[in-house]
Structure 1
Amino acid sequence: MRLTLDDDQQDLAEAVTRLVRRRADTLDLRASIASDRGYDDVLWTTLCDQIGAAALAIPEEDGGAGFTLLETLVVAERLGAGLTPGPLLGSAVLAAQAVLLAAGPADRARLLPALAEGRTIGTLAWADRQGRWRTDGSDVVAGRTGDEWLLSGTATLALDGAEAELLLVVADTPDGVGLFEVATTAVGLVRTATPALDPTLRFATLTLDRTPATALTTDAAAALARLRDVAAVAVTALQVGAAEAALGRTVDYLTGRVQFGRPLGSFQALKHRLADLFVQVESARSMFLAAAWAAAHDPADLPFRAACAKAWCSEAFTAVAAEMVQMHGGIAITWEHDAHLYFKRAHATAQLFGTAREHRRRLLRHV
């Protein structure tokens, strides 16, 4: 296990940071959120063309760059630092990994090259009506009429699901849980955008009523178990990047803001609070890197590492975001300041792919 980035991965992180900052001079975060797709499609295209962001974890034989999930998670961490919206989590991680883990060679060759280019956005409709990402099924049921599969039911919290061009749906079959592809123009399909606490994340609810579908597999339970862990680690990447950025912005504010004739950051009580936050952020980074390494190189250790990381990083980021609001004072509760965006990202990602309590329960079962 390695808890630091090598030189190439560090260069990758710096390249992503430079691209995000350069593009922010043209289209800032709020303008990206307000756009039709909810993210800066020029930045996304640039990340895919110049860095291969969507292709990093896809094998070369399937049209990808042939790296590992660790490199994709490095990109996610840097995007998380700026709260940069985009389809990396929903398309390049969830949809692409679902195809890689569950589909056969022919379907991988058909679907993955377009996802790797980043010009086709995929979504995975998996969560049930209670917002649970189950590995034993979903609220969508698949039945056969002759040689045709028909899906009926509802899937919630599909990332970028309202605009995605590739729709993947988890559904119960008579033989077990399956993974299906649904055409965007299929009969009986309704996609409804779902308002989210975090405006940088876009969700949709997919309702299917005897909707024709193509089966990628009818035995996806093992693939979904691994995918849930991969998704949890990807969320911790977003959390660690954002927590580090929020802490950095808070330190900058306290060192520049003068009150009672001295910088606020010089008061010992605030120094102690910042020191505690620093320990939480650095611990979260170590947890994330351990889980990212397991996702890329040690599948047997992944369930344990993913549960540890998701539980710790969720609570660490929530603590940093709350203190960011407190230490910025009145300015932090204005719409113009970004503190509320970090606060919303912290609470939203704490729920994605399992809460800290759920993952601690998984740890107890593991032990």
Structure 2
Amino acid sequence: MKLVLSPEQRHLREAVRAFLASASPLPKVRDGYDPQVYARLNGELGLSGLIIPEEHSGAGAGMSDLAVALEETGAALLPGPFLATTFAAIALTRVPDKELLTGIAEGRIAATLDGTEVSYDGSAVRGTLAQVLSGMETDVLVAPALTGDGPVMVAVELAGPGVTRTVLETLDITRGQARVVLDGAPARVLGPRPEGGILDRLCVAVAAEQLGVMRASLEAIVGYAKIRVAFGRYIGSYQGVKHKLADMHCKLEQAESIVRYAAWAADESPAELPEAAALAQAYVGRACFEVARDHLLLHGGIGYTWEHDAHLFYKRAKADEVLLGPPRNHRARLAQLLEL
């Protein structure tokens, strides 16, 4: 097991961090999804094709490398369909489709994945998907479908006929969701539905983003504690603040170890992945929200104003915490896997 980043992964982290600091700083995040930033993210860094095999124009990297990139996009609160497209790419590596994988790797296609099962009659699909991640910003939907011959995975053009998309009002203003109704929408079968492994990798991906949110939240409040003066003293000198910051740091350190282990398991030890993925969401999801919440509270009165960036981290943390189901679901799954 290797929990320390390699030199190549450190270079990747620095490249993504520098790009996002320049192209998508926090003040710009409030404006929402910028297609030009997304195009540059793929054109200059090739992030959308990071885990896509080389034969489909991707980099052929593993989950450990993807986790490094997602940590940085999480810390920057990157708006838009990057996480949704990552979800789709993870699924497509288990149900390979040359057209979609190549399009995603080249940045021509933004895709999303939804676990809601739809019905497929041999040419079209029908069903209602209540909350599709980045449903208004993506081109293709990948979803499971039930046919007379068994479960399959299908791809649907979201701008095509038979598709109705409705924007949802979400807690996290940096990442949209949509209600998608499929009523006779043309679809293409990608292959049989994989037995398992996709959800585990999605758990690792979200945990990596949550790790970035935690790190950025802690860095922000530590910086603030060094300059904010109350009653003639820097607030960072008060015992109550120091203890809270120490607790937040401990949560971050534990979360980093859990995420690194889960990403390693996805690449090197598939037998350990189910437990590692369940642990990642059971612990990191809640820890991320607690760090973001305390980061907001320690900012005091200014942290409660809508204009402050603390709200953006708080909302992303809460949205991510329940994105793949509440932590109690993952704790129950972990307990089942451990036969507790």
**Shorter-chain TM-score category?**
over 0.9
Q: Does 1:228 align with 2:199?
A: yes
* CA displacement at 1:163 relative to structure 2: 2.8
1:188 aligns with 2:181: no
Structure 1 stretch displaced more, 77-86 or 166-175: 166-175
Give the match's secondary structure for 1:211.
strand
Contact kept, 8 Å, 1:126 with 1:158, in 2: the verdict is no
How many angstroms does 1:297 deviate by? 2.3
Corresponding residue to 1:95 among 72, 88, 94: 88
* Whole-angstrom distance in 2 between the partners of 1:195 and 1:270: 35
Displacement of 1:185 in angstroms is 4.5
Local SS of the residue matching 1:54: helix
Query: Hey, what does 2:173 align to over in structure 1?
Result: 199
Please show how residues 17-96 of structure 1 align to structure 2 within 5 Å: 17-24=17-24, 28-34=25-31, 38-91=32-85, 93-96=86-89
- The answer (yes or no) to whether the contact 1:56–1:69 under 8 Å persists in 2 is no
The one-letter code of the counterpart of 2:94 is L
Aligned-partner SS, 2:197: helix
Which secondary structure does the structure 2 equivalent of 1:215 belong to? strand
- Aligned with 1:198: secondary structure? coil
The alignment of Structure 1 onto Structure 2 pairs a total of residues equal to 338
Distance across 2 between alignment mates of 1:6 and 1:255? 32
Q: For residue 307 of structure 1, what is the amino acid of its counterpart? A: A
Pick closer, same or farther for the CA change 1:350–1:184 going to 2, 3 Å: closer
Gaps of 5+ in 2: none
Match of 1:153 in 2: 127
Secondary structure class of the residue paired with 2:331? helix
Check conservation: 2:171, 2:319, Cα contact below 8 A. yes
Task: Measure, in 2, the Cα distance between the counterparts of 1:249 and 1:30.
Answer: 14
Kindly indicate whether the alpha-carbon contact (under 8 Å) linking 2:90 and 2:202 is maintained by their aligned counterparts in 1: no
TM-score by structure 2 length?
0.94
Distance 1:184 1:344, change over 3 A: closer
Q: 2:253 aligns to what?
A: 282
C-alpha distance in 2 between matches for 1:54 and 1:211: 26
Q: Secondary structure at the match of 1:169?
A: strand
Say if 1:259 and 1:200 are closer, same or farther in 2 by CA, change over 3 A: same
For normalisation by structure 1, the TM-score amounts to: 0.88
Q: Give the 3 Å change call, closer, same or farther, for CA 265–64 of structure 1 in structure 2.
A: same
Q: State the partner residue of 1:142.
A: 120
Contact 1:232 1:354 in 2 (8 A): no
Q: Which residue of 1 aligns with 2:186?
A: 212
Greater mean alpha carbon deviation, residues 236-245 or residues 181-190: 181-190
Do the aligned partners of residues 221 and 61 (structure 1) sit closer, same or farther apart at CA in structure 2, a change above 3 Å counting?
closer
Q: Indicate if the aligned counterparts of 2:119 and 2:146 stay in contact, CA closer than 8 A.
A: yes
1:16-63 deviation digits (Å, cap 9, x = unpaired): 111111224xxx4454443xxx42323222222222111111111122
Residue 285 of structure 2 aligns with which residue? 314
CA deviation after TM superposition for structure 1 residue 356, in Å: 1.1
Structure 2 residue aligned with 1:109? 98
Is the 8 Å Cα contact of residues 76 and 88 (structure 1) preserved in structure 2?
Answer: no
Q: Which residue of 2 aligns with 1:135?
A: none
Quote the RMSD (CA, aligned, Å).
1.6
Amino acid in the other structure paired with 1:6: S
CA distance in 2, matches of 1:296, 1:19: 26
In 2, Cα distance between equivalents of 1:167 and 1:235: 19
Partner of 1:363: 334
User: What CA deviation, in whole Å up to 9, does each residue of 1:308-339 have, x standing for no partner?
Assistant: 01111111111111111211111001121111
**Superposed, which structure 2 residues align to 1:259-274 within 5 Å?**
259-274=230-245
Task: State the shift of 1:143 in Å.
Answer: 2.0
- The 3-state SS of whatever aligns with 1:192 is strand
Between 233-242 and 64-73, the greater mean CA deviation after superposition:
64-73
Question: Aligned letter for 1:23?
Answer: A
Match of 1:169 in 2: 143
The answer to whether the aligner puts 1:13 opposite 2:13 as a matched pair is yes
Equivalent residue for 1:337, pick from 294, 308, 318:
308
- Correspondence 1:122 to 2:111: yes
- Structure 1, unmatched stretches of 5+, are 128-137
CA-to-aligned-CA distance 1:74-100 (integer Å, 9 cap, x gap): 111011111111322111x21122222
